[in-house]
Amino acid sequence: MRSYGGCVSVTQSGQMRWPKAVWALPLTLLAAGAASAEDFRIYTEHPRLFLRPQRLRLLKREKERQSLRWEQFETLMAGKARMSEPGFALALYFQVTGERQAGLEAVRWALGPGQDLRQLALVFDWCQPVLEAEQSRALAARLERGLEQTSGSKDVAGVRARVLAAAALAGHIPKLPEAALETTLREWWKGEALPALRSGRSAIPRDQHYALFELMHALRDNLEVDLAEDARAYFKQLPLYQLMSYYPAAYPAAENEYRIPAGGGAQVDLNRAALSRATELAMLAYEPNTTEYQYLQGWAMHDRFLLRSAFGITYEFLWANPYHPGLSYYNLPLALHDEEFGRLFVRSSWGDDARWAGYSEGRLETFQQGEPRTTPLKPGAKPLPVGDTVVLVGADPLRYEAVGKVAAVYVVGLKPLGRYDVEVDNEEMREERADRGGILALKFPAGLRGSVRMREFVGPIEGSAAPPQGGPLVQSAPQ
């Protein structure tokens, strides 16, 4: 075993513990192409997935205090409710209560009907104290087969399951866990996901953010590898994107109210909504201290949205920490324009009755009068007023006449990175460039009075007159 200068400590259990500087090496070595299996070996003790000592102490204190989240979780578990993810729920209940029967039931599920690689990894990691030697070998074999069968997985959820399985298996079988972790960091993260994030070519889909943060927790807790350090701008804005990409109105279900993430249309998927909230709680557990995440904490800590269902309560209890400070999201701007990935979200207020518009991946959605709608990207479409902001569908040429105070105009549906001549009344013509998603932002701090004209930039042609100004292809905004 390499000592990296002899800076190795030994825990009370006799395991080697590497200093933090050593654990920071894997991505550096990857960049140099010099990583070895030793750099991906895990030495942390079970439970090593999510339930590091500080979090487990918090959960046990929540049990002692009989917190609202604990009471709901205990009610469902003690009442033998049919949990949506039984391995996950039973194993967590065992870790917090120490009730051996819950651990045995989790193991029986994992060795019986259990097929979900992620849950199998959690049971193996969290239920070590009740696993008999033969059961441990059988469950380890299942995890090993799962790793082999998912070796080509590229989606975040699949990669997450492989990381959890590899971390759980570390020290139980040789080589395969280290190889799976190395492949994740070298091929998926460094080779695919990170270059796409840094270049703005592709963002990780919203519905896969939860899987991403489970993966990140597992890597940081066991290898001290922080993926957020590699893409700081992306992760800095992620909580604001998460917050702004909800429809304004809360959805009243039998167990609790839900915020509904955009992109689902009129069909409400409550499990999707629950997992979106779980994402925020997992994000806050990962990074609770930066300003953007504190705004998200202020957003998340409302008891009416506390997940109480058989699907959501396990996530709610595992990740929520109401003791972290939060900031009021009412102080945030009502528009989020993500130029890097070409996304736009605008609200008229922070109330449930707000108007809302969102543009992402070439799709324009609105939410008015309690209903989401998809707006066709047709030139000449009516302006969409959202508070003191107006969203226009691009046309060439385009003219917009302001009615009332307008603080910003966003033109969507343009050519990605396209160049446009823009002329505002009483101002000189200027050239503007759309972002990667075809969005062009025009800000008016003192308010727009008059009209905006825009056409695609063609450049001067020698010996010719300037092209004519655009006509009124966009109707005036209603008051």
Last residue in a domain, options 181, 208, 225? 225
Quick check: is 356 in a domain?
no
d(CA 348, CA 80): 45
Instruction: Give the domain range for residue 420.
Output: 367-456
Tell whether 181 and 138 lie within a shared domain.
yes
Quick check: is 339 in a domain?
no
Quick check: is 463 in a domain?
no
pLDDT-based confidence at 316, cuts 50/70/90? very high
Sign of the dihedral through C-alpha 177, 182, 187, 191? positive
- Give strand pairing partners of 356: 347, 367
d(CA 315, CA 349): 29
Quick check: is 469 in a domain?
no
Of 201, 204, 188, 194, give the one whose Cα is nearest residue 151: 188
pLDDT-based confidence at 36, cuts 50/70/90? low
Looking at residue 35, its pLDDT comes to 52
Looking at residue 264, its pLDDT comes to 81
Tell whether 235 and 205 lie within a shared domain.
no
**Average pLDDT taken over every residue of the chain:** 88
pLDDT tens profile 256-296: 999 999 988 778 999 999 999 999 999 999 999 999 999 99
Range of weakest confidence among 34-48, 288-302, 444-458? 34-48
Q: At what angle do helices 133-149 and 100-111 cross, to 10 degrees?
A: 50
Tell whether 157 and 297 lie within a shared domain.
no
Last residue in a domain, options 170, 196, 225? 225
Q: Is pLDDT above 50 for 9?
A: no
Tell whether 315 and 173 lie within a shared domain.
no
Tell whether 51 and 153 lie within a shared domain.
yes
Of 293, 260, 286, give the one whose Cα is nearest residue 274: 260
Looking at residue 302, its pLDDT comes to 92
pLDDT tens profile 104-163: 999 999 999 999 999 999 999 999 999 999 999 999 999 999 999 998 888 999 999 999
Tell whether 304 and 320 lie within a shared domain.
yes
Quick check: is 345 in a domain?
no
Of 110, 68, 60, give the one whose Cα is nearest residue 85: 110
pLDDT tens profile 61-84: 999 999 999 999 999 999 999 999
What CATH number is attached to the domain comprising 372? 2.60.40
Quick check: is 344 in a domain?
no
Tell whether 37 and 91 lie within a shared domain.
yes
Quick check: is 342 in a domain?
no
Write b or e for each residue in 250-268: b if 16 or more Cβ atoms lie within 10 A of its Cβ, otherwise e: beeeebbbbbbbbbbeeee
Strands lying side by side in the sheet with 451-456: 398-401, 451-456, 419-424, 430-433
Tell whether 301 and 253 lie within a shared domain.
yes
Q: Which two tokens stand for residue 381?
A: 């479409």
Tell whether 205 and 294 lie within a shared domain.
no
Tell whether 74 and 188 lie within a shared domain.
yes
pLDDT tens profile 341-377: 999 999 999 999 999 999 998 999 999 888 899 988 9
pLDDT tens profile 414-424: 999 999 999 99
Tell whether 90 and 187 lie within a shared domain.
yes
Quick check: is 468 in a domain?
no
Higher pLDDT, residue 152 or 340: 340
In the chain, pLDDT over 90 holds for what percent of residues?
A: 78
* Number of independent structural domains in the chain: 3
Last residue in a domain, options 191, 225, 259? 225
Looking at residue 152, its pLDDT comes to 84
Looking at residue 202, its pLDDT comes to 85
- Please give the C-alpha separations between residue 132 and each of 124, 141, 413, 465, in angstroms, as whole numbers: 11, 14, 60, 86
DSSP string, 144-204: HHHHHHTTT--SHHHHHHHHHHHHHHBTTBSSHHHHHHHHIIIIIIIIIIHHHHHHTS-PP
pLDDT-based confidence at 379, cuts 50/70/90? confident
The kind and range of the H/E element at 366 are strand 363-368
Tell whether 254 and 218 lie within a shared domain.
no
On the 0-12 / 13-18 / 19+ scale of CB atoms within 10 A, 80 is: exposed
pLDDT tens profile 165-192: 999 999 999 999 999 999 999 999 999 9
